[in-house]
Structure 1
Amino acid sequence: MTEIRTPRLVLRRWFDDDLVALSEIHADPVVMQRIGDGRTRSLEETAQDIEAWEEEWDEEGFGMFCVELLGSGELAGAVGLSVAEAPAEIAGQVAISWRLGRVFWGQGYASEAAHATLEFALQDRGLDRVVAAIRAEDGSSANVLGKLGMQAEGAARHLVHGHDLTLYGIDLTQYQH
């Protein structure tokens, strides 16, 4: 089982017991406003998300981690890697993303988890490049990506959801751990 420990977090695969806690995060409209189409997700949809993430782990050797607080064991959210389907400019490339419960914002958890995930991608999984696509107005995520050393590489429009995106990338030669 893949598990990464940081000073404050455990990044691990998903357990059945994680469903309710993640569905509570997915039910928060403020958390979800910059993810996908911006709508909240039901318990059933969250279960489908976890199932899809676990399938990606099995097929690709990477996926979305459960983010757990090391001290309390509390589920803080999800961070990880997936093969991007859209926008076309990054389709087929490995993208990093995250979502944390609102009570965990502003404490550096997203940066800590994303840094460990990027290191996992480039060093443990041997990927040459990782990308990200965030909504153009999402300054908090842009800040996290900047801390990772990822550079803005262009803009795109999400063809399904219609919002403007900023595209980021980093390759192994640019990465400094």
Structure 2
Amino acid sequence: MTEIRTPRLLLRRWYDHDLAPMADINADPEVMRWIDDGSVLDLDATAEAIERWEDEWDEEGFGIFAVELLASGELAGFAGLSVPEYLPEVLPAVAISWRLGSSFWGQGYASEAAHATLEFALQDRGLDRVISIDRPGNEASENVVRKLGMKPESETAHPLYGFPLSVHAIDLTEFEA
């Protein structure tokens, strides 16, 4: 089983008992504000997402990690890698993403999890390049992207909702572990 430990976090595959806390995170309008059209996700939609993430692990050898706090065992959210098939103009690419419950914001967990995920992508999985796709104005996410050392690459629009998206990238030669 693929796991990554950081000083405060365990990034791991998904367990059945993760469904309810992840559904609670996905049901928070503040958390979902910058995701797609801002709609919250219910328990069934969260279960479907986790199933897709687990399938991607099996198909690609990477995927979305559950992010657990080492100190308490709480599920804080997710961080991981996926192929952004909804945005064909960036393909072939692997994108890094993260989503944490609002009670875990402002403590550096997203940056810690994202950095560990990026290191996993470039050093363990042998990817040459990783992108991030963010909505301009999401300052917290933009801050994590800067901390990762990712550079602006292009601007595009979400194919379903039309809002602007920023694509940032980093390659193996630019990454500092």
TM-score range with shorter-chain normalisation?
A: over 0.9
TM-score for the superposition, normalised by structure 1: 0.98
What SS does the aligned partner of 1:126 have?
coil
Could you tell me how far apart the structure 2 residues matched to 1:61 and 1:166 are? 26
Match of 2:150 in 1: 150
Match of 2:14 in 1: 14
Match of 2:83 in 1: 83
Contact 1:87 1:156 survives alignment (8 Å): no
Give the unaligned 5+ runs of structure 1.
none
1:91 Cα deviation (Å)?
Answer: 2.9
Match of 2:118 in 1: 118
CA deviation profile, 1:96-123 (whole Å, cap 9, x unmatched): 0010000000000000000000000000
TM-score for the superposition, normalised by structure 2: 0.98
Identity %, equivalent residues: 61
Match of 1:97 in 2: 97
- Residue correspondence of structure 1 range 19-30 to structure 2 within 5 A: 19-30=19-30
Contact 1:96 1:132 survives alignment (8 Å): yes
Could you tell me how far apart the structure 1 residues matched to 2:158 and 2:86 are? 7
Could you tell me how far apart the structure 2 residues matched to 1:88 and 1:161 are? 15
Give the unaligned 5+ runs of structure 2.
none
Match of 2:173 in 1: 173
Could you tell me how far apart the structure 2 residues matched to 1:57 and 1:37 are? 26
CA deviation profile, 1:21-73 (whole Å, cap 9, x unmatched): 00000000110111122110010000000000000000000000000000100
Contact 1:135 1:166 survives alignment (8 Å): yes
